[in-house]
Amino acid sequence: MTDPLSDVLNVLGARVIRRTRLEAAGQWALAFPALDRLKFVALLRGTAWMMLPARAPQLMSAGDVCLLGRAAYAVASDPELPPLDGQTFYGADCDAARLGGDETVAIGGAVSFDPGNADFLLGMLPDFLFVPRSSAASGAMATILGLMEGEAERDIIGREIVSARLADVLLVEAIRAYAGSVEQVEIGWLGALSDPRLGRVLRAIHGGIAQPWTVAQLAGEAGMSRAAFSAEFTRRVGQPPLSYVRAWRLTIARAALTHGEETAASVASKVGYTSQSAFGHAYRRAFGAPPKADARS
């Protein structure tokens, strides 16, 4: 069966496009605006506070990693400090900022998606995912962070490509570790992936997106009654089962069209639409434009 997380990251074109470093000492605080992106922040040394709207400040220590969604956030030595605009410290040609010393060292990575494809994943992830070094699944992350720090200190050929690949792996390992913390993700897409019954359904959907799925068939995959399955899937994932199927079909279609891989007709068939008009209507309703608007020649 298809691994839904790998499937989503591949189709959406997720990749770490920019890696940043922060070294700081004393009193400092930086704020960053809300953006349509996913970002990881990892502490290599010292401590720092992460602050997001409507959340209590989270203290991070060396080895901790967090993932940030669309929300604005601030990072600081003290959560009571008024933050400066963090973007002024990172220009077009500057990926490192130093504020008074290196008592605290953090690295970050901005994850981009193919144009128009971020909504599917960002809409289902919380704005803040915290993975402490003490978590059971953090061993792989510690290894990767050590390798990333080692690459940063080596002036050797291939450093950029190795660092980029390590950043991609760190992103996946952080999501894995968070998803493995059942108490944190009882609700949400990651929690559903980790659930034996709902995870089996999601793997079936992603492995056979063109199938004419019905609620009864998906309930059979879960080994549940239709009513119980539909209610549990909706509660955990945030949308009914067939709405999820439709959203993923159209996300795949949009990615294929923007890549110029196939015609609208072949894409429609590939994702399970037997009628061009039904595909066009669903596509327009989801994205506000017909398929041809996203198609590349």
Strand 38-45 with 29-32, pairing? unpaired
Residue among 65, 58, 61 nearest 145 (CA): 65
CA dihedral angle for residue 144, residue 149, residue 150, residue 155, rounded to 10 degrees: 130
What's the predicted TM-score (pTM) here? 0.83
Distance CA 4, CA 121 (A): 11
DSSP 8-state secondary structure symbol assigned to residue 184:
T
Q: Tell me what pLDDT residue 268 has.
A: 94
pLDDT at 184 over 80: no
Task: Name which of 144, 183, 193 is nearest 8 in CA terms.
Answer: 193
Q: pLDDT band at residue 182, thresholds of 50, 70 and 90?
A: low
Higher-confidence position of 226 and 148: 226
> So what's the pLDDT on residue 296?
66
Q: 237-282, pLDDT tens digit by residue?
A: 999 999 999 999 999 999 999 888 688 999 999 999 999 999 999 9
Per-residue pLDDT for 185 more than 70?
no
Q: Is the pLDDT score of 297 beyond 50?
A: no
- For the chain, which domains are there? 4-179 (2.60.120.10), 195-294 (1.10.10.60)
